[in-house]
Amino acid sequence: MSSVTVRVPAKVNVQLAVGPLRDDGYHDLVNVFHAVSIYDEVEAKESEAVKISVTGDSADQVPLDDGNLAIQAARALAKHAGRSYGVDLIIRKAIPVAGGMAGGSADAAGALVACNELWGLGLPTEDLMEIAADLGSDVPFALLGGTAVGTGRGEQLTPLETSGTFHWVFAVADGGLSTAKVYAECDRLRHATGEQVAWPQTDDALLDALATGNAPALGAALTNDLQAAALMLRPSLARTLDVGRGHGALGAIVSGSGPTCAFLAADAEHARDLAVALTSTEVCRTATPAEGPTPGAHAI
């Protein structure tokens, strides 16, 4: 095989509960991941050396050196196989960069699946999941897709049963937010207010809404402990959320560390209307309807 192309979904966190800061600098999380139909494509082509190119939305903000998570993934896979392989990685981005939708992690998962096939390694998913967890907390979920609870740093995954399809709109902002800065702001706010930080727990009402496909109940149960920090760093997002709510969104939330905002719609038509309303009121750069859950990284 001389070329393999893999499609990988973005994620939204329908619940993100952030526990106390750990000694290792991470937080214990309860992170309910939900894969949605905004996809990056990662193509892996035969090459002597490791190379990368990136096209698509905000491609100029993506590193082209060893800082790129897809390159790190290819190198980690080659190391696991005990060989030095080359690959030409071509990434077509649709997931907003530094947007709180785990685009870099998606590309890492895509590179793992694509290189596993290109190099004929035939490694089972369990091996790829282990390599993925070492690359970053969000990478295993990009392999798995669907809907799942992540605990620990978010990387220990339990898949969740869901019913039906949920309809979303993602309002993409100009420029990104650094995940590390948003966590630091969350810690600062908690310290400043003397908040007692509870051990993170899954929300039974949210799990029930997912299991039964109840969109109004899911909308009411959406929570994100990073939202206050993201709003502090990007106050204009408050208006974006308000506009979505004002146009009947069943739920409105900052996606992960932001600045993308996620809106749950009643159905596909409502999602299209909501996207038009968000774009025409100029509270975001662009608004994209999407569905979830969708499968994880897979060859096309």
164 binds ligand ATP (CB under 6 A): no
Residue 105 vs 288, nearer CB to ligand ATP: 105
Q: For the residues of 229-256, what is the DSSP string, one character each?
A: HHHHH-TTHHHHHHHHHHTT-SEEEE-T
Verify whether residue 40 is a known catalytic residue.
no
Nearest Cα to Cα of residue 165 among 297, 245, 249, 265: 265
**Residue 299 structure tokens:** 């060859």
Site of tokens 């896979």: 77
Q: How many helices (H) and strands (E) does the chain have?
A: 10, 12
57 binds ligand ATP (CB under 6 A): no
Window 103-142: contact mask with ligand ATP (x via CB under 6 A): xxx-x------------------------------x----
What is the number of other CB atoms lying within 10 angstroms of the CB of residue 24? 7
Verify whether residue 60 is a known catalytic residue.
no
Residue 110 vs 215, nearer CB to ligand ATP: 110
From 14, 44, 69, 243, residue interacting with ligand ATP (rule: CB under 6 A): 69
Residue 72 vs 116, nearer CB to ligand ATP: 72
Looking at beta carbons, which residue is closest to ligand ATP?
Answer: 104
From 97, 169, 250, 290, residue interacting with ligand ATP (rule: CB under 6 A): 97
Residue 96 vs 270, nearer CB to ligand ATP: 96
Helix, strand or coil for residue 179?
helix
Across the chain, the runs of DSSP E, i.e. the strands, are 3-21, 27-45, 50-56, 87-93, 147-151, 156-159, 166-172, 223-224, 251-254, 261-265, 286-292, 298-299
Window 225-264: contact mask with ligand ATP (x via CB under 6 A): -------------------------------xx-------
Helix, strand or coil for residue 300?
coil
List residues with catalytic annotation. Answer: 11, 138
Residues that bind ligand ATP (CB under 6 A): 62-63, 67-70, 91, 97-105, 107, 138, 176, 179, 256-257
